[in-house]
Amino acid sequence: MWIPRPLYESIPYAYIVGGGLMLGAAWLLEQGPRGWLLAAGAAALVTGLVIWLRRRDYRTSQSEYDAHAIDD
């Protein structure tokens, strides 16, 4: 499946923003689906951070690898 690059690059930020919104909604609610919003918000926030960090680490390691390949 091919995803356009701007959409692909925005996925971690969408997860982080969505998780933050769900956490904020859970904090504002006095009753109802507060627990579900809290759990889903925390999961979305962590998922977005993991995706963002993994992409950053991969790009860093690839740039270091490419720099060594040019020196040879």
Residue 18 lies in a domain: yes
pTM: 0.81
Residue 54 lies in a domain: yes
Overall domain count for the chain: 1
Residue 41 lies in a domain: yes
Query: What is the domain extent for residue 18?
Result: 12-26+37-61
Per-residue confidence (pLDDT) for residue 63, from 0 to 100 = 76
Residue 22 lies in a domain: yes
Tokens of 16: 């982080």
How many C-beta neighbours within 10 Å does residue 9 have?
A: 11
Per-residue confidence (pLDDT) for residue 51, from 0 to 100 = 97
Residue 52 lies in a domain: yes
Residue-wise pLDDT for 2-58, tens only, equals 999 999 999 999 999 999 999 999 999 988 889 999 999 999 999 999 999 999 999
Residue 51 lies in a domain: yes
Residue 32 lies in a domain: no
**pLDDT higher than threshold 60 for residue 71:** no
